[in-house]
Every structure is written in C-alpha cells, then in structure tokens.
Structure 1
Amino acid sequence: METYQVLGLVGAFLLLLPLLFIPLFSFRSPMMGMMTFPIRFFSLMFIPAFVLGIVGSLIADRTAAGVLLVISAIFSLPMLFGVFGISFVLLLIAGVLALSRK
C-alpha cells in the first residue's frame, strides 16, 4: 500500500470515534429524562465521508482517489471538525499526495 492509501484509511477510520462516543455524553434532566446529543446529523455526515475515504483509499487510479479523499476531508468537517481536525488533515494530506504524484 502506498502512503496516501494508508493515510486515507486511518483518517476514514478515525471518523468512527465521534460516532461512537457522542451518545455517551448524555445528561439527566429533571423532568424530561435522559437528554442526548442529536446523533442523526453526525451519522448522516459520517456515511458519505467514511465511504468516500475508504473507496478513495482502495482504488488504483490516483487522480480519482485524490479527488475522493479531498471530498471526504470536506465532508468530515461537521463531525467535530473531523475528530478535532485529525482525520480532516489526514484525509486532506492523502488526497494531495494522491494528486501530486504521477
């Protein structure tokens, strides 16, 4: 595997972290019961970012892989700024590496 593929896979799998840990941050309200953070928005933004990151990492065409990884990086921004910026930066670097080398 090349460098951009490894970075893309790591960045895509780091997107799982907010999806798994956001439901843990619920709090008890006196009259309404357990209040949780709305997870639907994050799960809807997770699916395209994760799928594009995995597909961009696994295909052989470097141009298409670079474009898919950059789009995946942009889609990862609403998810806690792409896991506090780590997966966003990894996916963006992977996309730039895939586009820069021929």
Structure 2
Amino acid sequence: MDPDKIETISALVPLIGVIGILGIAGWVVTTWLRVKNGYPLESSWGQAVYPKTDQEAAERIKLLSQENAQLRAELGAIKDRLANVERIVTDGGYVLEQEIESLRGSKSN
C-alpha cells in the first residue's frame, strides 16, 4: 500500500471515531429526553415500543377503571356520612347531653 494512503487513513481514523462517539452520545441524550418527558420510545421502524396495547393491558385498564369508579362512589358516601357526623357533633344538644352525662358520672364517683 502507498505510504500516502496509509497516512491519510491514519489521519481519518480518529475523526471517524469522534463522529461515531458523538452520534452515539446524541442518540443516548435523545432517548433520555424522550423518556424524561414521557414520549414513547420508537423501534428502528418508527413503531412505538412502549406502551404495548395488547388484550391483557386493555382488560387491566378496564378493570382498574371500574374499580376507580367504585372507589369514587364509596368515597362520596363516606363524605356524606362524615358530614352528618360533623353536624351531630357540632349540634348544641349533643354537647349539652355530653355535659349532663359527665356531671352524672362525677356524682356517682
């Protein structure tokens, strides 16, 4: 091989290495930014890698939605019951009854 060609190739090898490393670093940074900001990752063909929408995942989402609706209904009922308990406790008659009961208790001791 010609010494000039060897010299040219040996001068280009570090440049090609730097370009390769910069390309890989750019790909890593791009992927990190996508993951950080919630964008789906893509395969080499441009298809989303995650989330996969298969039958099992769709069924799980359906079940979780139903459970969420049931829990919201139960929470609403509990809020109503709590409001009634707060109304009873803050009612003046209830406080008066508690005071009478405490006085009865102190007399019997």
TM-score, with length taken from structure 2: 0.27
Q: Which has the higher contact order (CA 8 A, sep 6+)?
A: 1
Pick the structure with greater CA Rg: 2
More helix by share: 2
TM-score, with length taken from structure 1: 0.28
More strand by share: 1
